[in-house]
Chains A and B, each alone.
Chain A
Amino acid sequence: MHRNRPKNFNKFIFTLTVQTDSSTVETFALKIENWNYFLIFLNSYSSKTREELKSDARRLAKQYSDSSDKSTRGYAQVLLKYMSVHNIKGVSLYKAKDKEYQSWNKLSLDIDKNILTEKPCL
């Protein structure tokens, strides 16, 4: 019945839950905020060469290994920096504040100062 109705991709989220130690679990979500911007990223990603994709993967690996902050926060910082440098727009990163996923913080990076900030979603 709804097969031909256009999909609202802004309502899609991708969640990832990680166990950071024996008693701590953290949940992150990637949400498409702007489908048009995200589509530009998808098109540009799919046209990348094998060398470019491997180069990107190597750079991320190096940045992860060079990061002094090995917490999920440090990894989020590396990811957001990568997204900023590669002009990946239209998708945002969130972190759950509670186990019921009722409350979230939006993570963003001040690229000039390389500082990760968390702002509560209203």
Chain B
Amino acid sequence: MKKNIIIIVVMLLAFSVKSQTKSLYEDEYAIKDAYYKDLYNDLDRYIGTWKYTSGSISLTIILQKKLRQHVLDEVYDFYEDVLVGEYMYVENGIVKANTLSQLNLNLNLEANKYNIVGNIIAGPNSPYCLNCGPNDRKVLLQFIDPDREIPGYESEMIFQRADDATVEKLKLKFRTISGLIAEVGVEPEFTEYTIPFGEYVLTKVN
């Protein structure tokens, strides 16, 4: 019995040396072999199929949580829980963008390849969450438009749960955090992504 306990302790110690579990709230990022885990399941509240409809416009976003994704390349070697997502944007019955099928691809070890990805959580003490209550959280995700690369733009999707009494809702603020870079005298091809910047309130449909 005593021998078994010693073996278990040694195994636990070996595992803790190999992979140090850290919260997503840690300030640091990408320490070698660390596992940035969603310890408080904050990301779970954003999982699902969410839809915004206004007039002839609809925006559908599907968000999934991926556990223990290994970020491994020439620079990085660590693990993390992340939210990943894809979207469909329809205007006047015409599908302007649809990346939802990307969720069916096996990108388990390449979470950064999804068009919506991230795991930055902002709580009540954050400038991102100034009017938040003690249990409110926002999650900051990166966004990529596979059809439009706009020089200088680094876009960001900020999600916050905004449920009312009967319906689960998600507030989305979609914006760029940096300015357009354009050659003097040359009209840029695009100044917005297929999804226009702005605020959307999406309803959970699945």
Contacts and interface: CB of A to CB of B under 8 A. Distances in A.
Interface of A: 49-51, 53-55, 57-59, 61-62, 64-66, 70, 75, 84-86, 111-112, 114
Contacts of A75: 75
Contacts of A59: 142, 154
Interface size class of B (residues with CB under 8 A): 20 to 34
A84 B181 contact: yes
A49 B117 CA distance: 20
A53 B181 contact: no
Interface in B140-197: 140, 142, 151-152, 154, 156, 177-178, 181-183, 186
Interface stretch (B47-55, B95-103, B120-128): B120-128
Interface of B: 27, 29-30, 71, 73-76, 110, 112-113, 117-118, 120, 122, 126-128, 140, 142, 151-152, 154, 156, 177-178, 181-183, 186
Contacts of A53: 27, 29
A66 B50 CA distance: 27
A100 to B, nearest CB: 27
A67 B4 CA distance: 48
Contact of B154 (A51, A54, A85): A85
A65 B30 contact: no
A119 B29 CA distance: 34
B172 to A, nearest CB: 16
Contact of A51 (B113, B126, B183): B126
Contact of A58 (B74, B142, B151): B142
A78 B71 CA distance: 18
Contact of A111 (B113, B120, B181): B181
Contact of B140 (A51, A62, A84): A51
B120 A112 contact: no
